Amino acid sequence: MAIAHTIPVAVHGRYLIECPTHGMPVGALVGCHGYAESADVQMERLRAIPDAGKWLLVSIQGLHRFYRAKTGEVVASWMTRQDRESAIADNVAYVSAVVDEVLKGLKVDVPLLYAGFSQGVAMAFRAACASHRRVMGVVAVGGDVPPELSAEDLGRLPAALVARGARDAAYTLEQWHADEARLRAAGVRLRTLSFDGSHEWNDEVSREAAALLRSIPSEFRAR
């Protein structure tokens, strides 16, 4: 009988950064894309948030790249259910390393806001809850809060936006309500959005994300 083993190895990840158009950033928006997407797609979503030009934008691509069958486009995934615990640890360490590399390279120390779409939502929550840096919150669109995060883990987040399209079959209404209950029970200052759409990030989501940023106390951002 074959016995499965795992082994840690070094692997190179890809990420995009975009600096503020003027002056120092008020914070860093760290994006995690969805399944079969790329860092480029998530960067476009970050840019679409009003006043994003004041922020340092960081879009991180999943480590597991593959080709779209019909187009040949290179896309990525964060993980599968195989060796799940190891993949979670790898991904959290990877995102943390990217953030450290970017902030140290630019010689800035600003609070973070994580923004995930679909599969990237779980990654955004995991990275935010595990961060050793200041985190302002999470923007979560079309994806659920990871089941392994405890109330204590989630309680590290000052604020969150959880958004869902009314016709989203991938992120059900029941799961959305369950996530809302978990976050409120953990003491997270929560904003929710149900919009007229399906599994997508649209202009309404971007406007609500901007509202979340504006709602975060200025003394926390400037600390």
Q: Which two tokens stand for residue 38?
A: 């790329």
pLDDT at 117 over 90: yes
What pLDDT does residue 107 have?
Answer: 93
What pLDDT does residue 221 have?
Answer: 52
| Run of H or E including 149 | none
In tens, the pLDDT along 155-184 reads 999 999 999 999 999 999 999 999 999 999
**C-alpha distances out from residue 37 to 98, 110, 131, 211, Å:** 19, 27, 24, 26
What pLDDT does residue 22 have?
Answer: 84
* Mean pLDDT of all residues belonging to the chain: 95
Percent of the chain with pLDDT over 90: 91
DSSP 8-state code for residue 198: S
Question: How, if at all, do strands 74-77 and 64-67 pair?
Answer: antiparallel
Which residue carries 């030009």 as its tokens? 53
What pLDDT does residue 53 have?
Answer: 93
What pLDDT does residue 215 have?
Answer: 83
Sketch the domain layout of the chain as residue ranges.
15-222
What pLDDT does residue 28 have?
Answer: 96
Neighbour count for residue 223 (Cβ, 10 Å): 8
In tens, the pLDDT along 19-35 reads 998 889 999 999 999 99
Nearest residue to 55 (alpha-carbon basis) of 106, 129, 14, 89: 106
Q: 36-40, 82-86, 114-118, 215-219: which has the minimum mean pLDDT? A: 215-219
Q: Which fold has domain 15-222?
A: Rossmann fold (3.40.50)
Percent of the chain with pLDDT over 70: 97
The pLDDT of 179-205, averaged and rounded, is 97
What pLDDT does residue 220 have?
Answer: 56
Reported pTM: 0.95
Q: How far apart are CA 187 and CA 151, in angstroms?
A: 8
In tens, the pLDDT along 39-72 reads 999 999 999 999 999 999 999 999 999 999 989 9
What pLDDT does residue 223 have?
Answer: 42
pLDDT at 222 over 50: no
What pLDDT does residue 49 have?
Answer: 97
